[in-house]
Amino acid sequence: MNAVERLNTTKLNSIIMVKFFKYLLATFAGGIVAAFMLFIILFGMLSAMAALGDKETKISENTILLLDLNGPIVDRVIEDPIGDAIASATGSPTAEGLNRLLKNIEKAKRDENISGIVLESGMVQAGYATIEEIRNALIDFKTSGKFIYSFAPIYSQKAYYLASVADKVYLNPSGMLELKGMYAERTFFKKTLEKVGVEVQVFKHGKFKSAVEPFLLEEMSDPSRLQTKVYLNSMWDHVKAGIAEARGLTPEKVSALADEMPMFRSDDMLMASGLIDGLKYKDELISELKELVGVDEGDDLEAVKSSKYAKVYVSNDKGFIKDKVAVIFAEGDIDGTSSDGIKSDKLSKTIRKARRDSSIKAIVFRVNSPGGSALGSEIIWREVQLAQETKPVIVSMGNYAASGGYYISCAAEKIIANPTTLTGSIGIFGMIPNAEELTDKLGISFDGVKTNEFADMPSLTRPFRKEEKELLQAYIVKGYDTFIGRCADGRETSKEAIDKIGQGRVWSGVNALDINLVDEIGGLNRAIELAKEAAGLEESRIVELPKAEDPFEQFMKELTGEARMFVGKSILGAEYKYIQTLENLKNGYQIQARIPYNLEIK
């Protein structure tokens, strides 16, 4: 082949390649456009479904309210027909809201068309305090004379605690029931950090402030173990007593049964123990329910799920009520990296608007937070204090209201906690990593020029100098002094008194009542009652704040968060939560007021 032929061949190949990439890019672009158009069409269909979903639901006589609580339960769920439709199509569990559950249970108590409630909650995903509130609402429902049945193929211990209030607790003949006591576990990263050559430089105040321990130790310190033992036993004592009362047993008997690990025992043992009322298949349960409500065996049993029952209107015979009680929800880390956490600027604005709204006569501040940014906590505290000066503010604590979560609560007129709420943890800390050893291993060095003594502080590539340590520790001590001062003012006591029960120590709700960190044991409904009393209201209506997001915005936020979590979990599985912890360490505010990382109570 001569030079001309080679040149022609090269040109031909170039033309072919150009056309190939041209068509490839056109196809790729067309695919993107098609996918976008499909998304628009899908969103339009879902929006139409959402509009239809807003219509009032009608139910007939002898209907059963079905509470399927096998998915996650959050403090507040906002009606999201788009998300519900997608979850239904993909088979994913949708989150249920404590706010919706409490409303539905109270409404069902008054609804003549509701004959009773059936619980399907064997694998409930919620904290003990959340379960406590649902459980108390069910106990109140029973005063109507209507029945509650519970059925599950498997009961986790939390689920069984909830189910124990039912008139009948049934288990699948091949099912399992977990009752084993409580266990609190923490994960430690010290050796992992040593292997990669990262040192975590810690500054804290309070011997019980154990949030930093996972990065410094390989096991719990003695103070951390002591506080965990105290609040864990307090929680278990309460759960034992609740099961015992509901099932006609004694707390000692419940504890003895837990030691026998009934999950792996015979069916006869389960029946003889008094933990359940029978072993039934689903069809047998349905037949019993039909007989109970007077439905013929050949007819269908009418049932309505919680999400649909929320759209059922039941008159309260009170007409239009002008005066409002605002329930403001604060759930998640304070100024954390999570898109679903508490953003101090947004929450502060919400509280400020409620304070200025003359139709809102009282505020219930629902706090379910392990804490977070000390600065963010101070910003929110200020708005709570200003609101309290204008109208009654009652705090309702969820599963957690500790450290920063207690900080933002302490200015309220009254604080209501659940028995199993984890609260207190009054203290702050700072953590700044030093990756000098890691960069040395990688052969990376750093050099620079500064104009002033502390211009290069903080540095992630060298340890703190003596003067820098003293500065930062003094700042932590100052922050702690401010924290206990806020608590002392709010609780009408002295800094010295708060310091004795502070030092970062975590308390259960019951413990906190004994040491004047909270005023009463109760849930969200009780907090609303107290807010009405404090404002002198005989009747009022509830408004939930912040206002619900636009369904499309909410859908896109959830889609982004779910995609990120899906990728992480697909690669790392259950270990993904540890990466989240390290991510929070890297991206979170350096001065923190929060409880221990990854505290799991099983």
How confident is the model over 235-249, as pLDDT tens digits? Answer: 999 999 999 999 999
- pLDDT digit string (tens) for 449-508? 999 999 999 888 899 999 999 999 999 999 999 999 999 999 999 999 999 999 999 999
Residues 129 and 267 in one domain: yes
Residue 574 lies in a domain: yes
- pLDDT digit string (tens) for 438-458? 889 889 898 999 999 999 998
- pLDDT digit string (tens) for 168-196? 999 999 999 999 999 998 889 999 999 98
Residue 277 lies in a domain: yes
Residue 277 reports pLDDT greater than 90: yes
Most confident residue range from 43-52, 384-393, 593-602: 384-393
Residues 378 and 518 in one domain: yes
Residue 40 reports pLDDT greater than 60: no
What is the average per-residue pLDDT within 545-566?
60
602 is catalytic: no
Identify which of 64, 58, 30 has the alpha carbon closest to the alpha carbon of residue 293: 64
Q: Is residue 566 within 8 Å of 92, Cβ to Cβ?
A: no
Q: Residue 339 has what pLDDT?
A: 62
Residue 566 reports pLDDT greater than 70: no
Residue 556 reports pLDDT greater than 70: no
Residues 291 and 336 in one domain: no
The single residue of 109, 168, 209, 280 carrying the catalytic annotation is 209
Q: Residue 325 has what pLDDT?
A: 98
What is the torsion angle, in degrees rounded to the nearest 10, for the CA atoms of residue 274, residue 276, residue 278 and residue 279? -130
What is the average per-residue pLDDT within 77-82?
71
Q: Which helix (H) or strand (E) holds 397?
A: strand 393-402
Residues 30 and 125 in one domain: no
What is the average per-residue pLDDT within 405-420?
98
Residues 34 and 104 in one domain: no
Neighbours of 283 (CB within 10 A): 8
Q: Residue 4 has what pLDDT?
A: 42
- pLDDT digit string (tens) for 506-554? 999 999 999 999 999 999 999 999 999 999 999 999 999 998 765 555 5
Residue 227 lies in a domain: no
Domain's final residue, options 250, 275, 309: 309
What is the average per-residue pLDDT within 412-434?
94
Residues 18 and 113 in one domain: no
Residues 581 and 446 in one domain: yes
Residues 90 and 176 in one domain: yes
* Rounded-to-integer distance, Cα 508 and Cα 500, Å: 16
Q: Residue 292 has what pLDDT?
A: 95
Buried b (16+ CB within 10 A) or exposed e, 7-45: eeeeeeeeeeeeeeeeeeeeeeeeeeeeeeeeeeeebee
Q: Residue 47 has what pLDDT?
A: 52
Q: Residue 582 has what pLDDT?
A: 46
At residue 39's C-alpha, the angle toward residues 38 and 42, to 5°, is: 85
Residue 102 lies in a domain: yes
* Rounded-to-integer distance, Cα 501 and Cα 423, Å: 11
Point out the least confidently predicted range of 42-46, 217-221, 278-282. Answer: 42-46
Identify which of 360, 325, 365 has the alpha carbon closest to the alpha carbon of residue 342: 365
The count of structural domains within the chain is 3
Residues 369 and 462 in one domain: yes
- pLDDT digit string (tens) for 97-134? 999 999 999 999 999 999 999 999 999 999 999 999 99
Residues 421 and 562 in one domain: yes
CATH number of the CATH domain containing 166: 3.90.226.10
Determine phi and psi for 231, rounding to 5 degrees. -75, -30
Residue 233 lies in a domain: no
Residue 241 lies in a domain: no
* Rounded-to-integer distance, Cα 594 and Cα 404, Å: 6
Most confident residue range from 76-85, 245-254, 542-551: 245-254
Residue 388 lies in a domain: yes
Domain with 21 in it: 1-49
Residue 207 lies in a domain: no
Residue 576 reports pLDDT greater than 50: no
More confident residue, 210 or 54: 210
Q: Residue 204 has what pLDDT?
A: 87
Q: Residue 7 has what pLDDT?
A: 43
The single residue of 121, 403, 508, 540 carrying the catalytic annotation is 403
Residues 464 and 525 in one domain: yes
| Average pLDDT along the chain | 86
How much of the chain, in percent, has pLDDT values that exceed 90?
67
More confident residue, 566 or 435: 435
Residue 50 reports pLDDT greater than 80: no
Residues 267 and 390 in one domain: no
403 is catalytic: yes
